[in-house]
Structure 1
Amino acid sequence: MKLDKGPQRTGLVRRRIALSATTVLLGVTTTLGSGLTTEAYAETSSAPTGIVLGVGANASQRVVSWYTPTDSAQVVQVAPTSALVAGEFPANAVTFPATVAANSVNGGYNGHATIDSLRTNTTYSYRVGSQDGWSPTYSFKTQEFKGDFDFLFYGDPQIGASGNVDKDGAGWKDTLDVSLAANPNAELLVSGGDQVEHANAEPQWDAFLAPDKLRQYPWAATIGNHDVGGKAYEQHFWTPNTDRSAPYYNGSSATRSGGNYWYTYKDVLFIDLNSNAYSNGSDAAHVEYVSDVIKNHGADAKYTVLVYHHAIYSPAAHANDSDNKQRRQDFPTAFSKLGVDLVLQGHDHAYSRSYVLKNGKKSHPGEQPGAAQVAQGPGGVIYVTANSASGSKYYGLTAPDTNKDPNFGPDPLNPKSHWANSVENQEHVRTYVKVQVRDNKLVVENLRSGTCVAPNAAVELNKVKWCGPDNGAGPAQPVGSPVDGVVIHPYRGKGWDQRADVATTAPDTSDWLQ
């Protein structure tokens, strides 16, 4: 039985349950010397709360994190769902001991445990508990550990940003429900950051974590600027291979949270950065981190996907923030040289998809705005900024302003947009991004998860003046309809560059899944 022990944190209470166990693979008969069985626990008011399923270091792992009112020993109990009888776990269910630490936010405790040695194509049931309480039972399923897969990317739920937590939570839940009903076999839910408006506001975290989909699909957390300012973010999310060195934090030692982390999932190396830390040379530290991870693990993946919060080619108000100006100088050339394929970002609550960019410049002059197919070429990178997934807050698109930044001016082919962006969109409706990973292409789509009607807090509360396409001149399009879509042909040194100047001006979805 493998455990994620994590780094020792000074001053925190840490407890582990002592087990004597033998495990071959999860689902195979396990002998527990501790005598723990399902009958040893009952659901009580002391049961864990805020349970969230997270990514592990690879496709055969999941991490479960939660809050608990007690510091007693905690475990995650897991079994194939087919082995449960009338909802009861079998006596030979595997238990994974947890790390439990004092909670700096609400005076309780937080715990996490890594579920390891999962099998392919299996539905598992799990619950979290101790002698003081047992959570409800949840389930998740695994698929193949190699080959094609889909994942979903969500921008800034930022629960509480509208001023109404309930409305924000309703929009967030609806986006999860809509996106996963349309994509039930999606394997990862990837965060663009800003889960909540205020870092230590637990009612906002409660609303964010309320949907059961976050206990059924692994959430790959990203820290945003609204998640910084306390420990709640990392108490709610335990992430694999995390480097919490000082440059990856923002603020004093008392409020640090975040860090950089990486994981591999099938043929993709995901690298997640705490972009809140950017001053005093920390961009150089981030670049060094990305370089080291790719050097050590890039050969094991066909694609490299970077995720961080602050969109460097944002289409909205944050585009010319001083920190984003700095990142536009620090990141693009490094990412091109390192062979990054796709960069996913949040922060500005509006959608954009860049042209293929190499070393911070447009790689193929002939690439047209909105092209439905693009070829990366050597060093080509696509940058995507996600719109709001909850409807709590939207930012309007901004006109390129060379006075604010002479290096982020208008697109000669579409002067209303910034030169870097093939597509910029804001309709004041909730959206999410779907990414299809295939052997010979990536398919990126921005899809509507809502319309102008509730749940859409910013519209309901008159935080915005219009809703719908073309600044509200057109009717809201149906849920599930595409805002944008592109097929990205990766560079494998096999001549894809000849497709770089394909001048498709509107998405053609006919061959996206072929």
Structure 2
Amino acid sequence: THSSVFVAAAESNAVIGKTVSLNVTATGADIQKATALLTLGNSFKNYTVTFSDNYEGTYSYSKLNNILTVNAERKADAVAVDNNIIATVTVDIPSNLSASDKFNYTVKGGSYTTADGYYATYHAPEAALPIAAAYSISAEVVLVGAPTTLTVTNDKGEPAANVDIFNAANNEKIGTTDEKGLMTTEYFSAASGNTTIYAKDAAGLLSFQLNVKSYDAAGEDSAMPYGLMFNALNDAAHGKSMTWMSNAIKAQDQYIRYRVSGTEDWTTVAAKATLRTFTKGGNSAVNVNSVTLEGLNPGTAYEYQIGGGEAWSEVATFSTINSNSDKTRFFALGDIQADDLTNIEKVVSKLSEGHYDFGIQTGDAVDDATSYSHWNDITNLFGVERFGSTDMIHVLGNHEYAGDANADAATNYFNLPTTAKPGSYYSLTYGDVYLAVVNYTGTAPQLKEAMDWLLKDAAQSNATWKVLLMHQPAYYTNNFGGNAEIYNTVPDVCEAAGIDVVFSGHDHSAARTYPLRDDEVDEENGIYYYICGSSGEKSYPITSQDKFDYEKIFKFATTDFAATYLSVTADKDEMTIDYYDIDRGLLDTVTIESPCKRHGHTACYDPAEKAVSCSVCGIALDNYSGKAPDKDGNEYYLLGGVVKTGWFLQGNDVFYANSKGVLQPIELDSYTKTNCTVRGKFVYSCKTVDEGDSATYTVRDDLPPGHKYDKEDPKAPNRVCTVCGWHEVSLKDCKVELSYTNYTYTGKAMKPYVYVTAPDGTKLTDYYDYTVIYGENTEIGYGTVTVKPFNYYLVNLNQKRGSLCDDGTVLEYKITIHAPTVKDVKAKMAVDGIDVSWTAVPEADGYNIYSWNSAKKAYDLLTTVEGADTTNATIYGVKAGSTYSLKVSAYNIIDKEQIVGYGGTAKITVPKNFAQKLEAPVATAMNDAATGYVKLSWSAVANADQYKVYRADTSNGTYKLMYTTKNLSYTNTSANAGYTYYYKVVAVDSKGAYASSDYSKVVSRTCDCARPVAKIAVNADTGKITVSWNEVKNAARYELLRSTDGKNFRHYDYTNKTSYTNMAVTPGTTYYYRVVAINGRSVYADSAASTTRYITCDCAKPTAKIAVEAASGKPVVSWAAVDGAAKYEVYVSADNKEFKLLGTTEALGYTDTSAKAGVTTYYKVKALCATSKYGDSALSNARYITCDCAAPVVAISINERYNKPMISWTAVDGASKYAIYRSTDGKNFKYYDTTTKLSYTNISTTSGTTYYYQVKAICASSSYGDSAYSSAASIKVP
């Protein structure tokens, strides 16, 4: 084997400020010549080459290809040595490298020759050494105005003492570490900025350089907390999540203290503080404080304060959600990313007026996660000043990761329940809505992990509605938004996971798809995908038309909006999603029905609970009838919620169920055919019946055909069957017996068997020879049994074939059905008498309690208890030492008659020292709808003549006497709206014969605002509807409810005023309104809705104008078109008092052809609604004018007698004379003369001159009625 040559580093790492040795080494002693071609990393420019004592040589560096070439040759007198170093390249390691850098070199090639002439080449791939430092230096977050401590450790992680620290920019010494490796300094605290430092010991060993950032303490220039937000959490009924900010220097440790509203004792919880730093717009830092409260009460208002030391916020209120609420309301917002917050503040202001359980923001709330001002804007938008204690779900978009790779700032600000790394996920449930959150990711593996989780997590939720929240949309509108992987992955998983709706952002467009499945519209099982718009400042054009068929995929997709939000309401049956633009109002609405709402429930039986529920939504199906499987596939049959057992016939089907109710397989064993009067039968069997049950079950065949008589006429006497020889008889001659006439109620129909025996002793057959008609006979009371000949088997309409003749005999019998027997009757002594209890008889109207009278040997009625659910009573006035034999019987009132069932009994002896106490009242509390005050009422107590009412502010607080009364009710007029009060009542005998009762059970009630008294009117000018109401004490604002049918009222708007003009109304449409006073303290103190007020929207009052038509002189009324009007009525008056209809027109003007010249007339106009007469406008303001004479129609000629111009005209109605006007230029006319005639010859004219004339009719009755000038007529005088 020949020797070889290789190049290797002598060190295992490259220490900054020191060197690395690359040795060219021979493996044997016979290497004569060697060459090595090396490349070094770009950071390593300084090196030296040395040759060992046995070799000499040269080296060179080529800038062209960055190759260092080393040539070596053994010296002639060199001693042969194995594995000796030929040459060493010593490379300087720069001091400004970081731990992430590498020292790298490559042996690009080389060659060597041995002593025996063997020649070979070699090379090696790139090798790398880690960069190391003798020391590490670290620093706390540096705050301007506060000292900071630097820490220096050696390469073993031990404190490094007496090591100097320098400013790398100018090598200025900052200080030296103490024995603990620490140095505290204010060197960085003067102003915000960046300083690069390093550590160096006396031997010149260095640390890596560290960039120390100095931060201004951001936020309130005080110790006060600010920017409080409430965040979403999974159990919002029992907890609250919140974050707030505080000054990192001035504020002390932060806490929250809270208590149930109206109580005294605070609970204090320390906040978790995280110091967050920001670099965009200057270095700044702030403490983000977070708290998650647990163990709270659902639907409860709490008072709280946040802060620390002496700096605490004002007392405010938050509320947990009501876990029993039927509805869940939330809103959704798209991307914000706005420098100009005008639009988003409008949206937030609108949303803050609604009562929402939570809100959603679909990501990109901030544009740059490293900007403090951006985060501060978000805390202002979603803080308590806008949304109170409404929880917010924040989906993280790509901009939450801008400059913050793991979205640590968002994690702190939103107190997220899990790490916020890209593609992170978690789920929440509010009410009946499951919400899965998947944060932004740009990688397919992270997206796949999130979708795998979604598939499993959604399957574990039994919520009716399943919603996915993610930043990027699957069905996107921006081709350049990086959404392709979302589309390729998400829809398939959503379909498999049962997702109903997906809310996304990212594209800054407003869009909704049709319900989609496999990219096809599926109204039944499709998923709605939303892009939630934006604040409107930034948008991307819609460019994905080449990817999606927009007509098939999108219901709408647009960027034409100001700023958008979505409002969602969900319950067990429906989810309604309204899409709004803050300027244009409602853009779109969708109502999704749950599968059970669409198709009904899918029954599943639980044998353990003996209950049927829907396997889809889980709702209990009480009183279910039909087949239902259990989870193991066993089938049951239930009737009215009760499992059938044994043999039974349901319709035409026969079943057998074992004692557990499980249906078993059965077979048909035999069949007997029917004859004239004996019905045939089917016999079924089951091989798996329970012990004691019959193995067979018989079902009767078709009814017998009846007899075939020798005479077809059913009235004919002595008919005889030609088949069996039977002689027809009358029912009235037969013996009829009922098996039983008194029954105890069981819930089943009572049907005593009826036996009919012919005069010759033949037993006739029910349903073949005679028929029995039972009344309903299922309810307590009297039932009926009717017997008559069977006459229903017909060969034709006249051939009746029963065994009894058709002589019209019908017999009716009466049976009695009593209430079930009362069971478990017990008697015991109480402080005020004998307490009697029993098991309820649900079917009863009440109970009678009797005591045995030994003298009468009968029971005496003691008392009556009304209502089936009352299962106890107290017998008052009992005598000490007496023994009472008591009986309790259920009764029912039937046609004013009391039908009493059998009773259960109990016996008790009253102690000789017994003293009686009054019965405690039963109190109830409600609100007076009109005043909102708490109204307390209670049951009357025997022997009591007074009642005392006590009140406390908490259930366990001190109760104070409020009122003493002889009445059975009390209205607490000193209660304040928004506060909850607790009450109890004591019954008193003022005469002292009976001891006062115990307190009633405590009842509580929140005092409501008084119900507004609403009025309604239509503005005569505009036709719009104005609702007004009185100011309500303790109301913070008012909610307006509106309906167009008087039944289905929906929220319309909020206002803090006491009137509201509804501008968005349509003429001719009737609108119904109610007003609710909203309490500013508690959602449970809102008033009852006002009495409904309704009115029809009118057309606006026309604005009329008036003029005179020049030619005719008639008045012309005109007006502008009125919205909603189909035509117009014109009214006329001579005195501006009594107006009469003049005419109707569809035009926008009307000429009064009946007006008389010189007469002043008044006019008004009414707009007639196109859809309803109740929508007609008010009359316009009156307009008046005097009717003119008509303008004369003038002709001109030469009077042949005088050879002068002669003007003539027709007579004008109402004119008494005519004025002549003359001109010689056709422009400047002057009055010339007046005449009462119909022509005029102008004598004083000059030959050769052309004259122009106009004529005006002068009104006989009024100067205001003169006509307009006639058209000019001209002629040249000969």
Whole-angstrom distance in 2 between the partners of 1:144 and 1:216: 13
Q: Does 1:343 align with 2:502?
A: yes
Q: Distance in 1 between matches of 2:579 and 2:542?
A: 16
Aligned to 2:416, what secondary structure does the other structure show? Answer: coil
- 2:520 maps to 1:362: yes
1:68 corresponding residue in structure 2: 246
**Residue type of the alignment partner of 1:104:** T
Q: Secondary structure at the match of 1:100?
A: strand
Q: Deviations over 1:247-280 (max 9, x none)?
A: 63xxxxxxxxxx32221111111111112x1315
Which residue, out of 265, 270, 288, partners 1:97? 270
Q: 2:258 aligns with which of 75, 78, 81?
A: 78
225 and 214 in structure 1: CA distance in 2 versus 1, 3 angstrom threshold: farther
> What is the identity percentage for the equivalent residue pairs of Structure 1 and Structure 2?
21
Letter in 2 for 1:308: M
Cross-structure match for 1:5: none
Residue 368 (structure 1) aligns with:
none
Residues 394 and 307 of structure 1: CA distance in aligned 2, closer, same or farther (over 3 Å): same
- Higher strand fraction (1 or 2): 2
**Structure with larger RCO (C-alpha < 8 A, sep 6+):** 1
Mapping for residues 422-501 of structure 1, pairs under 5 Å: 422-449=555-582, 451=583, 477=584, 481-492=585-596, 495=599
- Counterparts of 1:108-257 in structure 2, within 5 Å, are 108-131=286-309, 133-146=311-324, 147-160=326-339, 167-168=340-341, 170-181=342-353, 183=354, 185-211=355-381, 212-228=385-401, 229-230=403-404, 231-240=408-417, 242-244=418-420, 248=423
Letter of the 1:65 counterpart: T
User: Which secondary structure state, in structure 2, belongs to the residue aligned with residue 210 of structure 1?
Assistant: helix
Matches for 1:326-405 after TM superposition, within 5 Å:
326-358=485-517, 360-364=518-522, 375-377=523-525, 380-388=526-534, 390-398=535-543, 400-401=545-546
Aligned to 1:31: none
Q: Which has the larger radius of gyration?
A: 2
How much has 1:351 moved relative to structure 2?
1.0
Contact 1:239 1:261 (8 Å CA) reproduced: no
- Displacement after TM superposition at 1:215 (Å): 4.5
Report the RMSD for the aligned CA atoms in angstroms: 2.9
SS at match of 1:289: helix
Residues 122 and 142 in structure 1, CA contact (< 8 A), matched pair in contact too: yes
Q: Which amino acid aligns with 1:213?
A: R
| Partner deviation per Cα, 1:5-41 (whole Å, 9 max, x = no partner) | xxxxxx999xxxxxxxxxxxxxxxxxxxxxxxxxxxx
Residues 77 and 95 in structure 1, CA contact (< 8 A), matched pair in contact too: yes
Q: Which amino acid aligns with 1:144?
A: N
Do the aligned partners of 2:434 and 2:461 also contact (CA within 8 Å) in 1?
yes
CA positional deviation for 1:243: 4.5
Does structure 2 conserve the Cα–Cα contact (< 8 Å) formed by 1:443 and 1:512?
A: no
Whichever residue aligns with residue 362 of structure 1, its letter is E
Paired amino acid for 2:270 = P
For 1:291 and 1:399, locate their aligned partners in 2 and report how far apart those are by CA, in whole Å: 28
Instruction: Work out whether 1:309 is the aligned partner of 2:477.
Output: no
1:512 to 1:331, Cα distance in 2 relative to 1, 3 A: farther
- Structure 1 residues 314 and 433, CA gap change in structure 2 (3 angstroms): same
Q: How does 1:34-45 map to 2 (within 5 A)?
A: 45=222
1:57 to 217, 225, 234: 234
Separation of aligned partners in 2, 1:488 and 1:12: 54
What secondary structure sits across from 2:483 in the alignment?
helix
CA distance in 1, matches of 2:437, 2:443: 18
Q: Please give the alpha-carbon distance, in whole angstroms, between the structure 1 residues aligned to 2:537 and 2:305.
A: 31
1:193–1:12 Cα change, 3 Å: farther
Partner Cα separation in structure 2 for residue 311 and residue 285 of structure 1: 18
Match of 1:48 among 225, 244, 258: 225
What's the counterpart of residue 548 of structure 2? Answer: 409
Q: Does 1:278 align with 2:442?
A: yes
TM-score, normalised to structure 2, is: 0.28
1:51, CA displacement in angstroms? Answer: 1.8
Structure 2 letter corresponding to 1:357? L
Deviation at 1:72, TM superposition (A): 4.6
CA contact (8 A) 2:328 2:430 kept: no
CA contact (8 A) 1:65 1:110 kept: yes
Q: How far off is 1:189 after superposition?
A: 1.1
Q: Are the structure 2 counterparts of residues 352 and 509 from structure 1 closer, same or farther at C-alpha, using a change threshold of 3 Å?
A: farther
Shift of residue 494, structure 1, vs aligned partner: 5.6
C-alpha separation in 2, matches of 1:307 and 1:293: 14
| Deviation of the 1:483 alpha carbon | 0.3
Q: Extract structure 1 runs of 4+ deviating beyond 6 A.
A: 508-514
Counterpart Cα distance in 2 of 1:427 and 1:200: 31
Taking the aligned partners of 2:559 and 2:1044, their CA distance within structure 1 comes to 21
How far apart are the structure 2 equivalents of 1:314 and 1:484? 18
- Structure 2 CA distance for aligned equivalents of residues 48 and 94 of structure 1: 19
Query: Take 1:509 and 1:286, find their aligned partners in 2: how far apart are those partners?
Result: 46
Contact 1:176 1:213 in 2 (8 A): yes
Alpha-carbon distance, 1:141 to partner? 2.9
Cα distance, 1:322–1:77 mapped onto 2, change above 3 Å? same
Q: CA deviation digits over 1:448-507, x for unaligned, max 9?
A: 22x3xxxxxxxxxxxxxxxxxxxxxxxxx3xxx2100011123349638xxxxxxxxxxx
3-state DSSP of counterpart to 2:274:
strand
- Once residues 233 and 598 of structure 2 are traced to their aligned partners in structure 1, the CA distance between those partners, rounded to angstroms, is 34
Q: d(CA) in 2 for partners of 1:262 and 1:12?
A: 36
CA distance in 2, matches of 1:135, 1:232: 24
**Partner amino acid for 1:156?**
D
The answer on whether the counterparts of 2:573 and 2:596 sit within 8 Å (CA) in structure 1 is no
SS in 1 for 2:455: helix
- Give deviations 1:328-383, integer Å, cap 9, x for gaps: 1111111100111111111112111111112x42243xxxxxxxxxx442xx3111
Q: Distance in 2 between matches of 1:490 and 1:512?
A: 22
Letter in 1 for 2:493: A
Task: Please tell me whether residue 288 in structure 1 is matched to residue 288 in structure 2.
Answer: no
- Quote the Cα distance in structure 2 between the aligned partners of 1:443 and 1:129: 40
Alignment of 1:10-29 (within 5 A): none
Amino acid across the alignment from 1:350: S
Asked if the contact 2:328/2:569 (under 8 Å) is kept, the reply is yes
- Are the aligned partners of 1:152 and 1:433 in contact in 2 as well (CA < 8 Å)? yes
| Pair 387,494 (structure 1): closer, same or farther in 2 beyond 3 Å | closer
More helix by share: 1
CA contact (8 A) 2:258 2:303 kept: yes
How far apart, CA to CA, are the structure 1 residues paired with 2:598 and 2:544? 38
Task: Specify whether residues 243 and 44 from structure 1 end up closer, same or farther in structure 2 by C-alpha distance, changes over 3 A only.
Answer: closer
Whether contact under 8 Å (1:312, 1:324) holds in the other structure is yes
1:225 Cα deviation after fit: 1.3
